[in-house]
Amino acid sequence: QVQLVESGGGAVQTGGSLRLSCGVSGFPTGTNCMGWFRQAPEKEREPVARIYSSGYSMNTYYHNAVKGRFTISRDNAKTTLYLQMNVLKPEDTAMYYCAARLGSCDTRPSAFTYWGQGTQVTVSS
């Protein structure tokens, strides 16, 4: 059984930093994409950052709004996914979700098979 469990959310002021973690268990081996999505009230869920892993390469992808401020990474054992968020802005306020799928990196939330329960990030001005 695949489980994704997020942690690390919280409330910070503008310009602050947070690091989100996502513990991954039971995920099958193979080419995969793991990522972070966020959803603000009354808005659609959107991809924030994704990391694609194959046997030979690893590529990262970022939403334009977070490029240069957020960094996605995973540990060598591929059991934890991270999102380092720096220079946070009020518009980053949202519920952040960890997600995973086998195969290529898609931007559509509907393409991801496995989801965590979410962790709230609130940035005050």
Q: For the segment 31-76, what is each residue's pLDDT rounded down to a tens digit? A: 999 999 999 999 999 999 999 998 788 899 999 999 999 999 998 7
Does 120 score more than 80 pLDDT? yes
pLDDT of 29: 86
- Tokens representing 119 are 């962790």
Burial class of residue 80 (count of CB atoms within 10 Å of its CB; 0-12, 13-18, 19+) = middle
Does 114 score more than 90 pLDDT? yes
Place of tokens 């996914």: 81
pLDDT of 55: 77
- Tokens representing 95 are 């519920």
- Tokens representing 122 are 């609130």
Q: 29 or 120: which carries more pLDDT confidence?
A: 120
pLDDT tens digits along 70-110:
999 998 777 899 999 999 999 999 999 999 999 999 999 99
Rounded to 5°, angle at Cα 59 from 67 and 16: 30
- Tokens representing 30 are 């193979």
pLDDT of 57: 86
pLDDT of 38: 98
